[in-house]
Each structure stands twice: as C-alpha cells, then as structure tokens.
Amino acid sequence: MEKDFFAHETAVIDAGCIIKSGTKIWHFSHVMPNCTIGENCNIGQNVVISPEVILGNNVKVQNNVSIYTGVICEDDVFLGPSMVFTNVINPRSAVVRRGQYSKTIVKKGASIGANATIVCGNNIGEFAFIGAGAVVTKEVKAFALVVGNPSKQIGWMSEFGHRLHFNEKGLATCPEGKEVYILNNEQVSKKK
C-alpha cells in the first residue's frame, strides 16, 4: 500500500500513526507513536510530535516546534516557529509524572506566534491569536488577541487575522473578509 502523504527521508515516523492525504513532514522531524495527523497538514523541520497528539486538517506547524502528549489541535491551526506546549504543570527530573499529562485543546483557526509557550491545561479558543513570545497561563477566549508574559488580552481578531475595532453598538467588520462581529459580555461571535 502506497502512502498518500510526503515524509522527507530524514523524518522519523513511529508505529501506529495515522497520517492523512496531502500532509507533508519535513527534515529531521519526529512523529512519535499513535499520533493522528489530518489532511493537508504541513509539519516543518525539526518538529517533535509526542505520542498520541492529534492534529486536525490543514494544521501548519513551523520549524522547531514541540507538541507534547495531551495536545489536540483542531482544523486550520497555525503553530509559529519555535513555539512550545507543555504537558506537566509541575515537572521534576527525579519525579516520574508519565500518565499525569494535562490536556490542551487549540480550537479551530487559532494562531500561535513564534516562541510562544502554552502552559498545559489552558485551552485556546477558536480563531484566537497568540502573539510572538507570549506565555499563556490561562484560558484564551475565542477571537481574543493575547500578548506578553504572562499573556494578557489586548483586543480581538477576525477569522482573517485582522484586529477588530468595535463601535458603540458592539459591532466590528473585518476589513478583508467583510464579516460582521458582535462583542457582547466580553465574548465575540460572528454575526449570522
């Protein structure tokens, strides 16, 4: 049976992985046992995907990213260069914590910037935007823009990645996609 994804000859793919069509895995990356990678994903160079990680369709993983056990990325997630997830809240070299991994879910369309760190157990909302170098230590709302260490929400982003500016009625329009967004009770949703 011929595979319908591309893996560079230096990539290592362990047993039990499900890798769907159109996905590309580049130089020196390691996909560890029992991972699931969706269709049309792009896994950059020197990426580590730990056992049982789940990536949806069209996930873009830039170079030097570590995705640890317990992480689930839904469709259309972007992981910037050298960003990292954690999976144990209180690691110690001399204390074995395997099996105590915290789950982190990155919802559809979210982007995480270069060199950001996501502390385990903190989910990232749909279409959220995590700025470069941010250290996420709490949940991130859908469409939220967060930056800094520890990260702090400074605004809202559209599905197209543009900053949203709400009027007095709590409405904002994306300059690219032209969708209208509603801000209500510190939550953003797309107008239907």
Task: Please indicate, yes or no, whether residues 126 and 186 belong to a single structural domain of this protein.
Answer: no
Q: Please tell me the distance from the alpha carbon of residue 58 to that of residue 40, in angstroms, as a whole number.
A: 5
> Is residue 110 domain-shared with residue 187, that is, in the same domain?
no
Phi first, then psi: what are they for 94, rounded to 5°? -85, 0
10: left (phi over 0), alpha (psi -120 to 50) or beta: alpha
**Residue-level pLDDT at 98:** 83
83 and 169 share one domain:
no
173, 147: one domain:
no
Residues 171 and 153 in one domain: no
**How many distinct structural domains can be found in the chain?**
2
Question: CA–CA separation, 9 vs 28, rounded Å?
Answer: 8
Same domain, 176 and 105: no
Q: Structural domain of residue 7, as residue ranges?
A: 1-91+98-157
Residues 125 and 192 in one domain: no
For residues 40 and 73, state if they share a domain. Answer: yes
Average pLDDT value for residue range 23-31:
98
| Digit-coded pLDDT (tens) for 34-89 | 999 999 999 999 999 999 999 999 999 999 999 999 999 999 999 999 999 999 99
Residues 53 and 84 in one domain: yes
Looking at the fold, whether 190 and 138 belong to one and the same domain comes out as no
| 179 and 152 fall within a common domain | no
Q: Which CATH number is 111's domain given? A: 2.160.10.10
Q: What is the mean pLDDT of the segment spanning 19-35?
A: 97
Question: Identity (one letter) of the amino acid at 32?
Answer: M
The whole-number pLDDT of residue 190 equals 94
Cβ atoms of 161 and 177 within 8 Å: the answer is no
Q: How far apart are CA 21 and CA 177, in angstroms?
A: 28
Residue 170 main-chain phi, psi, to 5 deg? 75, 30
Check whether residue 17 and residue 78 sit in a common domain: yes
